[in-house]
Amino acid sequence: MIAYDLTCCQGHTFEGWFEDARAFKTQKKNGLLTCPVCSSAEISRIPSTFAIKNSPTLNRPSVEDAKTNLEALGRQIQDYVEKNFDDVGPDFAKEALKIHFGAEKPRNIRGVSTKQEEETLRNEGVDFVKVPLPATTKDKT
């Protein structure tokens, strides 16, 4: 069996299953294929969006390369957050609630919160994401 992505002259897309490529051509030629939406018999195959890519083992990154890439991604995220979010420190929950209830203008904030504060935010419907950031050298001193 073979599956083809198909479209009609009206732009409706659908999938068709055939025994082989010849069966598709025969059914199309004999007018046996019709669009399930508009019944048009003007059907054509379109490129499928489904593919399985299998890369050779030699092209896979080593564990060390993957670790380096992950560390670089972590640094990029940390840099982005530091540049684009106001640091409200331990007042994160208080500021998030002010923004949520309209007492403050919406803005990106970052800071720290306790588990209890996080539970309060969840109960109030405040969306937030916890992003664990690696300690910087200045944090270690």
Token duo for residue 127:
């969306």
**Burial class of residue 90 (count of CB atoms within 10 Å of its CB; 0-12, 13-18, 19+):** exposed
pLDDT of residue 73: 86
Q: What is the pLDDT of residues 107-118, one digit of tens each?
A: 999 999 999 999
b (16+ CB within 10 A) / e for 3-20: ebebbbeeeeeeebebee
User: Does residue 58 have a pLDDT over 70?
Assistant: no
Specify the pTM: 0.49
